[in-house]
Structure 1
Amino acid sequence: MPKRSFTLLVNQPLTAEQADAFDHCDAFADGSVSYTLGPENPGDRARVPDAGALRELSCDIDAPTLLDAVAQVARDLRLIPGLRAVGVRYDDIVTLEEATQRCGRELARQRKESAGFPDPEPGTGGTEFYSWRGITEWLARIGDDVPETPCDLLVADRALRLADALEDADVAPGTLRSLGLPAI
């Protein structure tokens, strides 16, 4: 089964108690989901260089599709009291393996054989990283239309954002059904 890599956005930075529950939860024991723990005092979080990272989980999940992978982590995250998934994203910077996963075709060989393939990003050290946007532009030039944002990612992100918006909203079941949503 292919590995799906993505960033899951959560509703809040993990507290020390949530991090402890996360670390002892069987669903996350394989290390396929990681988090960044910030300072215990919420007031100190503003001084963290990338405070947004405190609301992100890095995920590398074995699943048949990206949508299945996101759904699995979002479901398992509910095992941690007070945490829930509120969105998902792909980063622009990828390895060739991640780019291959996204477009469904082998890129390592094509990179060597085809003119115009994007160069690796500068200063990435031993592992070569590429711009996903640059790769999709190259694929379009050679006649292979690959969307910059995969459909599975759009569906997962929109579903999680809608679920988050409905979390504390008072919406009548008839209204939800009228919108094509199941009444909760």
Structure 2
Amino acid sequence: MEWSFSILLKQPLTREQADAFDHCDALADGAISYTLAPEDPDAHPQCADSAMLRELACDIEAPTLLDAVAQAVQRIRLIDGLHAVGVTLPDTVTLDEAAQRSGHGAQSLAQMSQDQGFPEPESGEGTVLYSWDRVAAFLRDIGEPVPDVPQDLVIAELALRLVNALDGADVSPGTLRALGLPID
């Protein structure tokens, strides 16, 4: 199963990190991509949104979303200075992605998309995309349980924030164990 999400970085990639990224065998499959700011921003009035410069777009095959995030973070850590601090899911989804998030079968959701009241696509050219919020609201309205946030996303987000908070902090292994964290 392929999972689409974004990894949030502590800061945007530098040119050196982008070069290392481009030459790293573990990142060569194109499953993780980045947006780099132009060298001369004044020459490019339409430069990328600054939030996009701190995101890596990921399309990773894994059994679960949590496994996919873990694989992406493991690869990202191969580049010196890159630190993942969060993870987000896209606001627009294909029907297959909506089925993943909702726990419904893709075929079942495709049939529901023909029902009156199912949200209209956000885009119809090429890949058909739907608003995840509207699809989730539709499913809830017909009595289907849909979590506000997938449990895997909650775990990944909390783990990345904890790792970021512990980076450089002087916390003893005993304290971490007392907090219930497994320490090798």
Superposition TM-score, scaled by structure 2 size: 0.89
Corresponding letter in the other structure for 2:158: R
More divergent stretch after superposition (165-174 vs 151-160): 165-174
Structure 2 equivalent of residue 144 of structure 1: 144
Structure 2 equivalent of residue 53 of structure 1: 52
Structure 1 equivalent of residue 121 of structure 2: 120
Structure 2 equivalent of residue 110 of structure 1: 112
Corresponding letter in the other structure for 1:153: L
* Distance of 2:29 and 2:144 partners within structure 1: 36
Structure 1 equivalent of residue 162 of structure 2: 162
Change (3 A) 1:136 1:173: same
The percent identity for this pair of structures is 58
CA deviations on 1:47-98 (whole Å, 9 max, x unpaired) are 8441010110000000000000000010111110111211101122212222
Quote how far apart the aligned CAs of 1:176 are.
1.3
Structure 2 equivalent of residue 28 of structure 1: 27
Structure 2 equivalent of residue 88 of structure 1: 87
Corresponding letter in the other structure for 1:37: L
Structure 1 equivalent of residue 70 of structure 2: 71
SS of residue paired to 2:58: strand
Contact 1:118 1:135 in 2 (8 A): yes
What 5-or-longer segments of structure 1 have no aligned partner? none
* Distance of 2:119 and 2:93 partners within structure 1: 12
* Distance of 1:5 and 1:154 partners within structure 2: 15
* Distance of 1:43 and 1:104 partners within structure 2: 46
* Distance of 2:172 and 2:42 partners within structure 1: 37
Corresponding letter in the other structure for 1:181: L
* Distance of 2:81 and 2:179 partners within structure 1: 28
Contact 1:133 1:148 in 2 (8 A): no
* Distance of 1:155 and 1:43 partners within structure 2: 40
Equivalences for 1:6-25 in 2 at 5 Å? 6-25=5-24
* Distance of 2:126 and 2:165 partners within structure 1: 42
Contact 2:4 2:60 in 1 (8 A): yes
Contact 1:132 1:148 in 2 (8 A): no
SS of residue paired to 2:13: coil
Contact 2:5 2:87 in 1 (8 A): yes
Quote how far apart the aligned CAs of 1:171 are.
1.4
More divergent stretch after superposition (75-84 vs 125-134): 125-134
Quote how far apart the aligned CAs of 1:41 are.
7.1
* Distance of 1:124 and 1:85 partners within structure 2: 33
* Distance of 1:28 and 1:96 partners within structure 2: 27
What 5-or-longer segments of structure 2 have no aligned partner? none
* Distance of 2:158 and 2:71 partners within structure 1: 16
CA deviations on 1:9-57 (whole Å, 9 max, x unpaired) are 112111111111111111111111100011347999xx84410101100
Change (3 A) 1:72 1:155: same
* Distance of 1:167 and 1:72 partners within structure 2: 20
Count, aligned residues: 181
* Distance of 1:177 and 1:77 partners within structure 2: 27
SS of residue paired to 1:164: helix
